[in-house]
Amino acid sequence: MNSTPHNPAAAGPGPDARFEAALRQGRFEIQKCADCGGHVFYPRYLCPHCGSVRLVAERASGKGVVYSTSVVRRRPDRGGDFNVCLVDLAEGPRMMSRVVGMPPDKVAIGMAVRAKVSEIDGVPAVVFEQG
């Protein structure tokens, strides 16, 4: 029996760094457990479904549905209003993001959305558009 504990962090860059590197290349990836098949978002070392360390990144379908939405009010000289929403991804996980390309108060619960990689304040991020 091997008494040395498995340390996933010793394998190289962490899951956040790999996720961010994919975003910089224009790809939205989520993790899938090689043992139970569950999808995982946000990037992690361990599967929250079964505890496995065998999480592999795969390209997300980009399809989702708005679960909840809220409008953040800002003065126009500070960038104006925007929305913050929770999106249920087709693969199962729920993530926080924004819906862009429409007035923030027109984003509706149950609306179909599609992911795209965009820059927010110079940092690549996953945002959604209607559709």
Q: Encode pLDDT of 87-103 as tens digits.
A: 999 999 999 999 999 99
pTM of the model: 0.86
- Pair 127, 25: CB distance under 8 Å: no
pLDDT average, residue stretch 49-54 = 96
Q: Which residues share a beta bridge with 6? A: none
- Give the pLDDT band (50/70/90) at residue 45: very high
pLDDT of residue 11: 56
More confident residue, 6 or 84: 84
pLDDT average, residue stretch 42-64 = 96
Q: Measured between alpha carbons, how far is 68 from 72 in angstroms, rounded to an integer?
A: 13
Question: Would you list the domain boundaries of the chain?
Answer: 12-59, 63-130
Would you identify the CATH topology of the domain 63-130? OB fold (Dihydrolipoamide Acetyltransferase, E2P) (2.40.50)
- Residues with Cβ within 8 Å of 76's Cβ and at least 6 positions away in sequence, in order, are none
